[in-house]
A and B are shown apart, each in its own frame.
Chain A
Amino acid sequence: MRRPAPGRNPFIKRRFVQVTSLVLLHSSFAPWAQAKWFCNPVLSCHSCVLAWFACPVGVFVHYSGYHMFPFVAAGTVLLLGALFGRLLCGWVCPFGLIMDWLYKIPSPKFAMPNWTGYIKYIVLIVMVFALPWFLGEQSLYSFCRICPASALQMTVPNLIMGKVTTVSVALVVKLAILVAVLVLAVFSSRSFCKVFCPIGAILAPLNLISFWALKPPVMACRDCGRCDRVCPVSGVPSERIASGIPANRAMECVVCHDCQEACPHGECPSGSDESGPFAVE
């Protein structure tokens, strides 16, 4: 990896992939070409008529209600998770892109406490599996009923187009949660991804075993702390780098590669301008 040229935004590559993914994932104008049997593990509502793929959370909710095991959905999520970990969270997820954009709004910033990262596992177990299993797939208490991506892609457009005729408590709650998630994202980077996202909860443990790895610059690292400052989830990658562990071997890491891009490896005496200390396995 070469050192970024002076004046060039080192994170522009990821932003380009995120925007391209946002457009491509929601450009299905031909129903015969849709592949909604395939679960793409990013937070994007499959009820959106322009969505190409199925949302794994939506499929898990329905299969829990059916009392059946989702072979294909579980298989595809596990396959992509084992290969890439949470790389899709950092590079492909449309809701992650919205989180990144909102955090750019000037405001006081704070990091969510580490213990809040466990909330998403409770959300996954209770609202994606347990409640739909006991109350049915149409339960008002399933994750889909409060999903902010669903609210953004389905509820808000339907409200604007006048397709929603009655204002129910469930509708108000869903919109209130969307607003709360978006406002929180302005103050705390990737707060929804870290605290509530059930897809993140599924993929997080797979970060530890995935074949995608950012090789650490053990010899070249000068502990300057730049990687820690740019980490969107406050994951302190320098601790793992210093131990010789790939920077993405942490459950909260969204594998954005920002630590790699921010690393001033070219300035390190043991590094060089041509080959940096970071590398992808």
Chain B
Amino acid sequence: MAVWSQTSKTRRAVGVLALLIAIGLIVGGARVSYEVHDDDEMAAAFGLDTYTEVSERELVIDATFSGVTRRDGKLYSTYDRALGAVKRACPT
């Protein structure tokens, strides 16, 4: 248990490492973007595959109301992205 004592260098080192990883994940997430395809049957009938680039932050927000679903290895919007920010309740 000594390794977890108040002054343990190991504990502090692991804590600092965890902080650095967390900051790295947040900074890395800020640079990531995803292709979210429009679920447009009309466009698909003409062979068009339209999509929107969304940031990690936007995808987290989409996840809170099931605004994106995954089919055939691709992400698809479940709502009209042209609409502004409004309150959206979880459809489930």
Contact = CB atoms under 8 A, between A and B. Distances in A.
Interface stretch (A91-99, A109-117, A204-212, A224-232): A204-212
9 contacts: A54-B61, A62-B68, A65-B70, A70-B60, A75-B22, A79-B19, A137-B66, A210-B15, A216-B6
Contacts of A83: 19
Interface residues of A, number: 53
A68 interface: yes
B66 A71 contact: no
A82 B15 contact: yes
B15 A72 contact: no
B42 interface: no
Interface in B64-78: 64-66, 68-70, 73, 75
A193 interface: no
Given A75-B26, A145-B92, A215-B6, 10 more contacts: A37-B57, A46-B90, A47-B89, A66-B59, A67-B73, A136-B69, A137-B63, A213-B6, A244-B5, A246-B6
A76 B24 CA distance: 10
B92 A138 contact: yes
A221 interface: no
Interface of A: 31-32, 34, 36-37, 39, 45-47, 49, 54-55, 58-59, 62-63, 65-68, 70-76, 78-79, 81-83, 136-138, 144-145, 154, 206, 208-211, 213, 215-216, 240, 243-246, 249, 281
B63 A71 contact: no
Given A82-B22, A154-B90, A246-B6, A73 B60 contact: yes
Contacts of B32: 71
A75 B63 contact: no
Contacts of B70: 65-67, 136-137
Nearest to A79: B22
A249 B1 CA distance: 10
Nearest to B64: A46
Contacts of A82: 15, 18-19, 22
A75 B29 contact: yes
Nearest to B24: A75
Nearest to A158: B89
A151 B28 CA distance: 34
B5 A32 contact: no
Contacts of B22: 74-76, 78-79, 82
A72 to B, nearest CB: 4
Interface in B20-49: 21-26, 28-30, 32, 34
A154 B66 CA distance: 15
**A-B pairs, 4 with minimum CB distance:** A71-B29, A75-B25, A47-B90, A62-B63
Contacts of B1: 240, 243, 245
Contacts of B82: none
A73 B30 CA distance: 11
A73 B66 CA distance: 16
Contacts of B60: 36-37, 39, 54, 59, 70, 72-73
Contacts of A216: 6
Given A78-B22, A243-B1, A211 B6 contact: no
A67 B59 CA distance: 13
Contacts of A34: 85
